Amino acid sequence: MSKMKRILCWVLAAALVLSLAACGAADDDGQEKTDAPVLGVCIWAMETEYFTNLAHWLEEAGKAHGWEVVVQSGDATNPSSQVEIIENFITMQVDAIFINPINIASVDDALAKAKSEGIWIFGHNYRYEDSEVPDVYLSGDPAEAGAMITDLAKQEADRVIGDGKVVVAAMTSLDNENNSNRSEGMKARAKEIWGEDALVAENSPGNTAEAMSAAENIVQAHPDVNVWLCYNDECAIGVYEFYNASGRDQSKAVIVGADGNVDVLRAIVNDTAVRGTLSQTLYAKCEQVLQAADVLMESGDVAAAQETAGYELLTPINRDNAQAELDASTWQ
């Protein structure tokens, strides 16, 4: 073999060795990434503020606990879209799935299949009676959530109305069982606290604009209404916008909603008629979810994981804690 050929062979051999070493490094890097447990997050309507915040805080908690968090969003008009996501997570061999379902019945079989594959299931907005599939349930009773809205309104009414007469209007929803039960719980507690005659009006608006219009109509018929129970914050903002547009005095009015939306939190901080909301305090709840996920991975103790995550989702928010909640909600 000529000297030139020998040199060429050595060069090619060295290049091959370096190439294999590089491939080995890439594999090592890949292995390091896959060593982290994976949480598949299946939500819907990712474009909404609530789900954007939920995804963000799950990702942040995942980083803190060494989990890879993969977020995929279904189509709110197509419950089967979440089935496709679950099947994708099964193929990916994720370690746990966190799901907020569009429709619980639609995803039950797919989740059961995932569970049979050894994947832990976190059911968000799942009550114990809704399904036997989740390992960890995050919900609370919707009727009790409605009662919490009214209890918070009572607390704020005692502060701003004092001994004055309380006249109540309710913004309710019949969209689904959860919202209907929340609305019924809200009204039932109002009658317990203030008596059967205190609740003088009820409307079921579908959005903020409809709530604003409904508030105007209610005040025309019942000008003394001073406490507004709203099953969600969209309705609360609608009532608030009516007050702003009409120039009505807000100093002796109480509007309470639920969801912890940023606009409502700002209104509470600014000492307007919006006095409270119920929030899932996502930054704290997502941390608990990842703590529970760690428990499942380390011991498989479902009862301990449920205790760690907690069942109840909602925390009352008023002027005392609204700023902290607002700071956490405006991470963007």
**Within a domain: residue 19?**
no
**Within a domain: residue 258?**
yes
Strand pairing class (136-138; 120-124): parallel
Task: Choose among 268, 275, 273, 244: nearest CA to 329.
Answer: 268
- β-partners of residue 201 are 169
**Within a domain: residue 44?**
yes
**CA-based radius of gyration for the chain:** 26
Task: Choose among 148, 151, 160, 147: nearest CA to 274.
Answer: 160
User: In this structure, are 114 and 219 located in the same domain?
Assistant: no
User: In this structure, are 242 and 291 located in the same domain?
Assistant: no
DSSP-based three-state secondary structure for 228: strand
Which residue range(s) make up the domain with 193?
142-279
**Locate tokens 């879209």: which residue?**
81
Give kind and range of the element (H or E) at residue 49: helix 49-65
pTM of the model: 0.72
User: In this structure, are 164 and 265 located in the same domain?
Assistant: yes
Between CA 126 and CA 100 the distance in angstroms is: 8
**Within a domain: residue 267?**
yes
- β-partners of residue 315 are 279
User: In this structure, are 210 and 285 located in the same domain?
Assistant: no
**Within a domain: residue 16?**
no
User: In this structure, are 146 and 273 located in the same domain?
Assistant: yes
Q: Please tell me the predicted confidence (pLDDT) of residue 280.
A: 87
Between CA 185 and CA 141 the distance in angstroms is: 10
Give the CATH number, domain containing residue 291: 3.40.50.2300
User: In this structure, are 171 and 246 located in the same domain?
Assistant: yes
DSSP letter string over 143-164? HHHHHHHHHHHHHHHHHHTTTS
Strand pairing class (274-279; 315-317): antiparallel
Task: Choose among 194, 178, 182, 172: nearest CA to 146.
Answer: 182
Q: How many CA atoms lie within 13 A of 203 on its CB side?
A: 23
pLDDT in tens, the chain (332 residues): 444 434 444 444 444 334 434 444 444 444 344 589 999 999 988 887 788 889 999 999 999 999 999 999 999 889 999 999 999 999 999 999 999 998 899 999 999 999 999 999 999 989 889 899 999 999 878 899 999 999 999 999 999 999 999 999 999 998 777 789 999 999 999 999 999 999 999 999 989 999 999 999 999 999 999 999 999 999 999 999 999 999 999 999 999 999 898 999 999 999 999 999 999 889 899 999 999 999 999 999 999 999 999 998 899 999 999 999 999 877 76
User: In this structure, are 58 and 97 located in the same domain?
Assistant: yes
**Within a domain: residue 12?**
no
User: In this structure, are 134 and 205 located in the same domain?
Assistant: no
**Within a domain: residue 28?**
no
